[in-house]
Chains A and B, each alone.
Chain A
C-alpha cells in the first residue's frame, strides 16, 4: 500500500469518526501547516492556533471533502488559508501613514545581519511581489505542495496556477537582477 492509498484509508476512517485516523492526519500535515501559517502570520503562537482551528474545521466539514489525486493535504491547506485570513483580520493593525506593505514584509535589520547578502536580496525581492504571488509561492516552497496541490488548495485550475507561478518567479528573478545591478 503506497502513501496515497494509506492516506485515503486514513481519510475514510476519519469520515467515520476514527480518532486514530484523525490524529494521524493531523500529525502528518502539522509541520507544513504550521510553517505556512507562521510564514503568513509571523507568529508561532498564532500559527499553532491557526492549525488547530484548521483541524477543527476539517472535522466538521469532512463530509464536503471529495477525494482527489492530490490527496488530503491540499484540502487542509485550503482551510488553513481561510483561517489565516480570519486571524489576520482579527489582529489587523493599520499601517502608519506612508508605510507600504512591502516595506513591512521586507527583512528587518536582524535578518539582514544574519542572512547572507544573497538571502537578503531574495527576501527583499520576494517582498515586492503581489500578495497572491507570495501566497502561491509560500504554498509551494513552505507548504511543500506541488503545483497541482496548490491549485487544489487555491481552488483554481492547475494550469492557471502554473502560469501564475511562472510569472511570480519571473518577476522575482527580475527584482533580484535589479538588486544585483544596484548592489
Chain B
C-alpha cells in the first residue's frame, strides 16, 4: 500500500514539483489593491462591521457570535416597502383615463347624451348618476317600438316587444317601476299588432293589486276602444256582447275577432270548467264553471248560459258571476258582472245567454 512520504513515488513527486514550479516572477503576497478588494468584499458582506467576539451576544442585539451572519433582505427600520405596481407613466395614464372616464360620464349623464354601453356599464357600476344599461336598452327599444308602430311593421313590433320583455327582466329593481311605466304607456299602441303574435308576446307591465282599486291596465282601455257602441235599445244585449266591469271604468266590449266562444247547446250546463277562466297568460280560451267561484263565470240563465273566454295578449280580465248566477237554476234576470282581477294580458269574459230578460250590470 502506498503511504504518503514512504513510497518511491515521493521522489517522483518531488521531481515533478521542481519541474512544475511556478515562475519566480509570480507574486508571493497579495498587492495592496488586492487587499483593498478583499476588504471591500468583507465590508459588503458585513456592512455593520465585525460582529462582537465570542462570549455573548453582541451589545447591539446583533447576531449571536459563531452563528452565521444574516444579511438583511431589505432595509431595517423601514416598514413594508411600497409595492411596485408599475412604472410611473403607467400609473399616471391609468389615473388620467379614470378621470376622463369619470368626468365624461358625469357630463354626459348630466347633458342627457347617450353613452356607449361599455362606458354606461362602468359609469353605472361606479355609481355615477346614469341609467343602468338595461333601462337604457328598454328606452331604446321603446323608441324602436314606437317607430315600428308608426311604420305599421307588425313583425318588427312583435320582435321589439319581445326584446322589451327581456329588457324589463334585467332592469334593476330601483328602476323597474320607471321602466314599467314607460312600457305601460306604449302598450295601448302595440296591443292590436301583437295580439295575434305566435308565440304571444308577454310584457310584464306593473302588476296591479287584485283588488278593484287598482288602476285599469292600458290594454283594457284598448279593448274598450275597439268595442262597438253597445246596443241601448232596452233589450238584452246581443249574444256577442259582453259586459265587463273594471275598477274604475265599466265598459261594454265586443269580442275581438279572436274571441273564442264556447256556447253549449241550449239546456246544457257548462261542465268543463275548473273555475279558472284563463289557462294562462296569452293562451287561448278557457271556460269555467259559471258558479264555481269567484274565478268562474256565470250567467243568470243557467241552462242557457254560455261562457266565452276571450284572450287578449296583454290584458286579463276575469268575469265573475254574482251570487245568484248559478247556471243551474239561477235567476234569469241576474246581471253579469266582470271584475278585473289583474292587469295582465288575458281577458276572460262571459257571454250572457241570449235571454232578452238579462240586463247587464254596470
Contact = CB atoms under 8 A, between A and B. Distances in A.
Interface of A: 12-13, 15-19, 22-23, 26-27, 30-31, 34-35, 38-39, 44, 47-48, 51-52, 55-56, 59-60, 62-63, 115, 119, 122-123, 126, 137-138, 140-142, 146-147, 162-163, 165-166, 169-170, 172-173
Given A39-B20, A44-B25, A60 B45 contact: yes
Contact of A26 (B18, B30, B65, B66): B30
A59 B50 contact: no
A126 B41 CA distance: 38
Contacts of A163: 2
B89 interface: no
B60 interface: no
Nearest to B44: A59
Interface of B: 2, 4, 7, 9, 12-13, 15-23, 25-30, 34-35, 37-39, 41-43, 45-46, 49-54, 65-66, 68-69
A17 B34 contact: no
A59 B9 CA distance: 37
Given A119-B19, A142-B20, A16 B42 contact: no
Contacts of B17: 141-142
Contacts of A26: 30, 34-35, 38
A51 B35 CA distance: 11
B22 A23 contact: no
Main secondary structure of the interface of A (DSSP, over half): helix
21 contacts: A13-B50, A15-B66, A16-B50, A16-B52, A17-B49, A22-B42, A23-B35, A51-B34, A55-B38, A56-B38, A59-B38, A59-B41, A122-B19, A126-B20, A140-B13, A141-B20, A142-B17, A147-B4, A169-B13, A170-B9, A172-B16
Contacts, number: 124
A112 B62 CA distance: 60
A111 to B, nearest CB: 10
A23 B34 contact: no
Contacts of B41: 55-56, 59-60
Nearest to A115: B19
Contacts of B26: 31, 34-35, 38, 44, 47
Nearest to B33: A52
A22 B235 CA distance: 128
B9 A17 contact: no
A26 to B, nearest CB: 5
A48 B29 CA distance: 10
